[in-house]
Amino acid sequence: MTRFDSLQAWLDWQEKLHPRPIDLGLGRAAGVYRQLNPDQKQPLTITVAGTNGKGSCVAFLEAIYRAAGYRVGAYTSPHILRYNERIRIDGQPVDDALICEAFSRIDAVRGDTSLSYFEFGTLAALSIFATANLDIQLLEVGLGGRLDAVNIVDADAALVTTIGLDHLDWLGHTEEAIGREKAGIFRAGVAAIVGDWQPPISIAEVAEQVGAVLLQMGKAFTYRKHPQVWDWRAGDLQVGQLPPPAFKGEHQYRNASAAIMAVKTLQHLLAVSDDSIRQGIQSAQLPGRFQLIPGEPRILLDVGHNPQAVQTLIDYLREYFPAIKINAVFAMMRDKDIAGVLNMMRDRVTTWYLAPLVNPRAASPDMLETIFQQQGLDNVRSGFADFSEAFHAARQNSGPDELLLIFGSFFLVSEYLSKFS
């Protein structure tokens, strides 16, 4: 007998089930997975980790393999509007009933094992994908790598994007420590693709320790841009005349290049034509990352929430909006480097509008105001009842030729898309 009859009821229960919302470790999830899938059947797998760029790489891979005619499962987090976005088959979120059935199966075999919200979701995705007749599954690591629930699966190719300072309390306070955790998805004899020009030394050290086949940007593969197209190369392999990536920003050429390297690594298992690669690079979709909404003013949505991601936002603004007044609706989670982000953006934002978020992890407007004061920033408006009130104030005070930027958190972008899109 199933415990609940609606997806929301399951999710509400999961949020209260485990004593810690983030509880890294493979033991609980791996034990339940063995019960859930005793034969350990799984599709071909690419696991993606990194500080920023994971979602982009998964989106490129998903689009490339779908363009090649393969049946693709993708597990990502967090979601923007609906939980179902986390578990996709052939580009479409699976329905409530399928997720509820998976939750019920997990609940039936877990015994007295307590699982976190993320562990339940990961196990549900793996359970659904195992019986969906997929050609390949793409798994995005939620936090870290080595001890993330996704890492209970041995990937056929592992991809690490970039390494930056984030989630310091769980992963360590240096890029070397964080890189070591991210590289925990590497396996012996398996391609370990690194989409960073200068990754921490610890990544190569882990690859050597486990016997993974290290393929690093700038060494094993690279790219070259031309006025209208770009080329990708890895030794004697080349894909030329590639269209610009679907997502804006120089960093997306790196993400797309890493995705192509992963595809080429598995070419002997899933053949993909260069035309499918070109089509996928151009057609990939990723809401909330440099998402531009036309109008007066134009609205730019960005989920960037750490200094590395915000630097890519600054680079994007410099390229596409070099001399334009920008107002920002802003919120961040309280465990992020809020002061660092403000200092990076202080010269680009004319007026800040602080939006309250209904989330226990969110920094309160009072906390944000204090940090703004500490950074010597007084161009701030607050006291809004909710996101909608902050957004309306910002839009009303933005001219038709100006840019209204909404950034700092997935939850903030979700608020806009759920209420105004």
What DSSP letter does each residue of 151-191 carry, written as one string?
GGS--SEEEE----S--HHHH-SSHHHHHHHHGGG--TTSE
**Confidence at residue 261, expressed as pLDDT on a 0 to 100 scale:** 98
How far apart CA 336 and CA 348 sit, in angstroms, is 20
Q: Consecutive 10-residue runs of the chain (421 residues): their mean pLDDT?
A: 89 85 78 88 94 93 98 94 96 97 96 92 97 97 86 97 67 80 95 95 96 97 96 97 92 96 98 98 91 94 85 90 94 88 93 91 90 93 94 96 94 91 75
Other beta carbons within 10 Å of 79 = 16
Q: What CATH class is the domain 7-283?
A: alpha beta
Q: Does residue 412 sit in helix, strand or coil?
A: helix
Q: Which residues pair with 232 in a beta bridge?
A: 223, 239
**Confidence at residue 22, expressed as pLDDT on a 0 to 100 scale:** 66
**Confidence at residue 270, expressed as pLDDT on a 0 to 100 scale:** 98
pTM, two decimal places: 0.90
How far apart CA 280 and CA 299 sit, in angstroms, is 26
**Confidence at residue 171, expressed as pLDDT on a 0 to 100 scale:** 61
**Confidence at residue 166, expressed as pLDDT on a 0 to 100 scale:** 59
Residues of the chain with CATH 3.90.190.20: 291-420
End-to-end alpha carbon distance in the chain: 39
- The topology under which CATH files domain 291-420 is Protein-Tyrosine Phosphatase; Chain A (3.90.190)
Residues of the chain with CATH 3.40.1190.10: 7-283
